[in-house]
Amino acid sequence: MTRSGFVGLAGRPNVGKSTLVNALVGSHVAIVSNRPQTTRRAIRGVATDLEAGRQLVLVDLPGVQRPRDVLTERMQGRVERELADSDAVVFVVNGEEGIGPGDRFIVRALLGARAGLPVLCAVNKADRLGPNELVPVLAEAAGLEGVDEVFPISARSGEGLPPLLERLGELIPEGPYMYPPEDSSDQSSELLLAELIREQVLNRTRQEVPHSVEVSVLEVEPREDGLVAVRAEIWAETESQKGILIGRGGKKIGEIGVAARRSLERELGAQVHLDLTVRVRRHWRRDEDLLDRLGIE
């Protein structure tokens, strides 16, 4: 007998959902940054345990938020659709920050997504808290209407993840695996490479630039000598943002390129020649056709 099901990860922006997905899958399938709105698509990470006979399809959802433009409207709509199709939800909170109004707003949204949906609350960064700090947060999380169980965890260190995995395995339905056991994600190779490049942009820019950037991989060409040539564009919305991304004498784009190339090499298991271009695409976050092509539904 095997079990297989969808688990949505919900929470405020920047509480560690992507780090948790990567930890549960055991692979870098979702980019991680300390910038809010890092996750724009519903990224599915596949965690298969053949010995336990379970396959968890973990859906790393964009942070729940009130929409401000077409991009964030689509992100929020995707959150709601994915939650409605989930077999269980892991509601992630930042233990260091405690339970705030944003967390309560999300729990209310979860209650409205689908009646009877099991909700497990993962209190992340529990390893950074002493007992006197952690216990009140766990008690407050347990008292939230709609939360069924609470698990103190550290997505970064792996502390507390085995009990969470075991409980999720009990909640998903019996059935065949939905993905081959060796798969770790449903993303195309081009999208994953684009996201790895964007991760390095997010980690090296600030203010409005991270939210205005998208990356498109135009070509991936394995060569006979074993080198993989990757050609990609980084989009900004204004000339001033383009200037920031390039930097004085090309310093910033050089830093981004070096870090991105290392990430791509780890993913591809080969040496990479990365050709990065920065171009301006004004108002791309409001372009419905372009968002369709980017897969931001």
Out of 25-34, 106-115, 277-286, give the one with best mean pLDDT: 277-286
Asked if the structure places residue 27 within a domain, the reply is: yes
Instruction: Please state, in angstroms and rounded to a whole number, the distance separating the CA atoms of residues 65 and 11.
Output: 9
Range(s) of the domain holding residue 253: 189-293
Domain endpoint, select from 171, 201, 236: 171
> How confident is the model over 134-152, as pLDDT tens digits?
999 999 999 998 899 999 9
List the CATH number of the domain containing 224: 3.30.300.20
| Range 161-166 average pLDDT | 96
Give the CA angle between residues 71, 121, 54 to the nearest 5°: 90
Asked if the structure places residue 181 within a domain, the reply is: no
Residue 122: name the closest of 80, 99, 94, 156 by CA: 94
pLDDT at 168: 96
Q: Which amino acid is at 288?
A: E
Same domain, 110 and 247: no
Asked if the structure places residue 183 within a domain, the reply is: no
Question: Which stretch of DSSP H or E encloses residue 252?
Answer: helix 251-268
Do 280 and 237 touch, CB atoms closer than 8 A? yes
Number of domains in the chain: 2
Higher per-residue pLDDT: 239 or 64: 239
pLDDT at 272: 95
Confidence at 23, pLDDT banded by 50, 70, 90:
very high
pLDDT at 33: 55
Same domain, 164 and 206: no
Domain endpoint, select from 141, 171, 201: 171
pLDDT at 285: 67
Residue with tokens 């060569």: 223
Instruction: Please state, in angstroms and rounded to a whole number, the distance separating the CA atoms of residues 196 and 245.
Output: 16
Same domain, 165 and 210: no
Q: How many residues make up the chain in this entry?
A: 297
Asked if the structure places residue 103 within a domain, the reply is: yes
List the CATH number of the domain containing 45: 3.40.50.300
Instruction: Count CB-CB contacts under 10 A for residue 141.
Output: 23
Same domain, 213 and 68: no
As given in the structure block, the two tokens for residue 156 are 């970064």
Same domain, 24 and 140: yes
Instruction: Please state, in angstroms and rounded to a whole number, the distance separating the CA atoms of residues 217 and 17.
Output: 25
E strand map for the chain = 3-11, 43-49, 54-60, 88-94, 119-124, 149-152, 214-222, 228-236, 272-280
Q: Return the DSSP state at 34.
A: S
The secondary structure of the chain in percent helix, strand, coil, rounded to multiples of 5, reads 40, 25, 35
Asked whether residue 35 carries a pLDDT value surpassing 70, the answer given is: no
Q: Which amino acid is at 72?
A: T
Contacts for 107 with CB less than 8 Å, ≥ 6 apart: 91, 119, 144, 145, 146, 147
Same domain, 33 and 149: yes
Same domain, 210 and 268: yes
Same domain, 157 and 264: no
> How confident is the model over 56-73, as pLDDT tens digits?
999 876 555 555 555 556
Same domain, 121 and 229: no
Q: What CA–CA distances, in Å, run from 273 to 55, 197, 232?
A: 35, 13, 11
Same domain, 236 and 199: yes
Phi, psi at 204, each rounded to 5°: -125, 10
Please state the pTM of the whole predicted model.
0.72
Confidence at 114, pLDDT banded by 50, 70, 90:
low
Asked if the structure places residue 209 within a domain, the reply is: yes
Q: Which amino acid is at 184?
A: S
Residue 15: name the closest of 91, 86, 117, 78 by CA: 91
